[in-house]
Chains A and B, each alone.
Chain A
């Protein structure tokens, strides 16, 4: 098996799991050295060929695997030879860290600029305008809506934004040039 050191990282395991799902995980978790066919993988891992192919194509779409096709001269049958490219995993995750940072920055703006009201009964949150339209009564259960602090959320987002900027060397408010 190749890329053992990468696969030891629990975040990377989670990432692969997120991409290929539980059925594809045996394929994603055991990348072989060199080329391999889908049939070989299915046999080796004791999986349905379709599940193996599905996992391989997801990895392909995420730049984590590539294939070349060989045609059998006699039968005309196509064989797919797969190579895993997990050396791309760190770059992909770096890209995901940038996307997360972007999402957090946008969401923080929204949380900062709006006031929220909560129905404690249903656990549903409303923006001020919505709450006013409902006369500060929950449209589901009729209980009174109460002003809700989102300081905890803002602080948590703020802290993670700082950590991500620091790790990715993104200057504050550089969204425009980035």
Chain B
């Protein structure tokens, strides 16, 4: 699973497409090719290759009354360090309920305010 090398081999159009999906955080395929200024056929070929390289996710959806795909970046591209405050991980992990008044969360916010 070496994402970086798959990215190295992308064509210019594929790279622009991937960037667009990452920047928007999610876009319908019918908007995707218009935004990239390529034909719909070329747009779907770009999407096909990005899905094949496991660089994006693609889901069936209905948008403006027609069937299309919704394209999203892979979750692994997210910055997970936003779950940390200092060296403390989000206290909601492993708990069923999110309790914003818990002592553990107060401690987490203190870390955020005074230790970062």
Give the most central of A9, A11, A152: most B CB within 10 Å. A11
What count of chain B residues pass the 8 Å CB interface test?
33
Contacts of B85 in A (CB 8 A): 160
B89 touches A11 (CB 8 A): yes
B113 touches A169 (CB 8 A): no
Residues of chain B in range 56-94 having any CB-CB distance to chain A below 8 Å: 74-76, 78-85, 89-90, 92-94
Q: Is B105 an interface residue (CB 8 A)?
A: yes
Number of residue pairs spanning A and B whose beta carbons lie under 8 angstroms apart = 92
A11 touches B84 (CB 8 A): yes
B2 touches A5 (CB 8 A): yes
Q: Give A159's nearest chain B residue, CB to CB.
A: B112
Contacts of B3 in A (CB 8 A): 5
Output the least CB separation between B100 and chain A (Å): 4
Residues of chain A in range 136-168 having any CB-CB distance to chain B below 8 Å: 152-153, 155-157, 160, 163-164, 167-168
Q: Known: A18-B94, A156-B116. Is A167-B109 also a contact (CB below 8 A)?
A: no
B78 touches A93 (CB 8 A): yes
A103 touches B113 (CB 8 A): no
What separation, in Å, do the CA atoms of A155 and B109 have in the docked complex?
10
Give the most central of A90, A99, A103, A152: most B CB within 10 Å. A103
Give the most central of B78, B80, B98, B100: most A CB within 10 Å. B80
Residues of chain B in range 1-40 having any CB-CB distance to chain A below 8 Å: 1-3, 24-26
Q: Is A14 an interface residue (CB 8 A)?
A: yes
Q: Give A19's nearest chain B residue, CB to CB.
A: B94
A-B contact pairs, 8 of them (CB 8 A): A3-B1, A12-B80, A14-B89, A90-B80, A97-B80, A100-B90, A103-B98, A167-B79
With contacts A91-B75, A100-B90, A100-B92 known, what are 11 further pairs, Cβ within 8 A?
Answer: A5-B2, A5-B3, A15-B83, A18-B89, A93-B80, A99-B90, A103-B99, A104-B100, A107-B109, A155-B113, A160-B85
Closest 8 CB pairs of A and B: A169-B25, A90-B75, A156-B113, A90-B76, A107-B100, A106-B100, A11-B80, A94-B75
